[in-house]
Amino acid sequence: MADSSKTEKATPKRREKAREQGQVHRSRELPSVLAMVGAVGALAIMSHNALANWTMFYRKILDTAATTEIDRNGPIFFWGAIEVFRWTVPVLASALFLSVSAALAQGGINFAPAALQFKFEKFNPAGKVKQIFSLTSLSNLMKSLLPFSAIAWVAESCISSHWGLMVRASSFGLGMFATTLGNMMFEVAWKACLILLVWSGIDYFLSWMKMEGDLKMTREEIREEHKQTDGNPQIKQRIRRLQRRRRRRQTLAAAATATVVVTNPTHYAVALRYTPEMETPIVVAKGMNLLAQEIKALAAENGITILENKPLAQALYKTVEVDDPIPASLYQAVADILVIVFRAQAEVRRQEEMRRNRNAFGEVIKR
């Protein structure tokens, strides 16, 4: 009985694990039925000229046996081997091709070492006896009897409908009787193949439904599988939180080396660094909202110039990654910012120099 708690479809990992254990959806009847169809089809195609071919073959053998001595290296055995191959190879090849094709179409080649592992319960006689007298064995027996009963009914109907013709054909000669009997056998054969094909399709569908039911999972099993595959969500959340903290520290450390911080003024903050030895200014840090406020606070603590330029701040944040140089389209806008920064720095240095000079001059006056 199926577990009512297993309501979810099997995940790809669950299906792959089942395949590794040898649980592949296959119908055992389908390859054998298709092999039978291939054999009957090949015989039907070859039977059109069968009577003429076999008649000529036996006449040739009798003529040769009457005129020459029968030797194991003679032509009779060679002709016999040719006929055997002519009639067996196409039949066997057709049956083998369809059987292998059906097996490959139902899951391909599956090598499952887990299914070959030694398990004591496989050799337990009590378990085997229980399997023989179980509901599953009874079900399989009933499934086998259904198509057999249908084929028996078809054969009985065919014989009943052709019984009068068979009785009359016996009086017309051996050839007529053999033809009638062959047609009856072919009719029973193709109808039996049709019944078995339909039944194998039903069996394939039923086995597919059973396997899908066996592979179903509970929601708890799916959650456990996600934990094993992707990791515990709480641990992953903590790792992401630590990664964000590390990136924030790295961003603030890089912002401390900036030349200027461009803001918009509240949402974005982009830290640029440029020295005369550099070919192009680069973005050393950027952030928005709370991180932008932290970058600006760090810049204020370290005496880094903060300039408000809303279009430039948005363009730098959206188009330039950290540690990348600014694009050529922003050269002029950034150059204007740097000119202001360098002038301000030069003015600060000039005032600092004048203050030092005044202090030095005052010391001299005191002396």
Report CA dihedral (84, 86, 90, 91) to the nearest 10 degrees.
-40
Contacts of 39 (CB under 8 A, 6+ apart): 91, 92, 94, 95
pLDDT values of the chain reduced to their tens digit, one per residue, 367 residues: 455 667 777 777 777 776 666 666 677 778 888 888 888 888 888 877 777 777 788 788 877 777 776 666 667 777 778 888 888 888 888 888 888 888 777 766 655 555 555 565 555 666 556 666 555 666 666 667 778 888 888 888 888 887 777 777 667 666 677 777 777 888 888 888 888 888 888 888 877 787 777 777 777 777 777 666 655 566 667 777 777 778 778 877 877 888 888 888 778 888 888 888 888 888 888 888 888 888 888 888 888 888 888 888 888 888 888 888 888 888 888 888 888 888 877 777 777 777 776 766 566 566 5
Instruction: Quickly count: other Cβ atoms within 10 Å of residue 237's Cβ.
Output: 11
The CA distance from 98 to 102, in Å, is 6
CA distances from 52 to 24, 43, 47, 166 (A): 48, 15, 10, 22
For the domain bounded by 248-366, which CATH number is listed? 3.40.1690.10
Residue 82 exposure: Cα atoms within 13 Å on the Cβ side: 9
Average pLDDT, whole number, for the chain?
76
Going 148 to 153 to 154 to 156, the CA torsion angle's sign is positive
Contacts of 259 (CB under 8 A, 6+ apart): 272, 273, 274, 275, 281, 304, 305, 338, 341
What does the domain layout of the chain look like in residue ranges?
Answer: 25-104, 132-191, 248-366
Q: Is 258 exposed, middle or buried (0-12, 13-18, 19+ CB in 10 A)?
A: buried
| Nearest in space to 9 (alpha carbons), one of 222, 239, 216, 233 | 216
Residue 286: beta bridge partners? 270
**What's the Rg (C-alpha) of the chain?**
45
- Global pTM reads 0.45
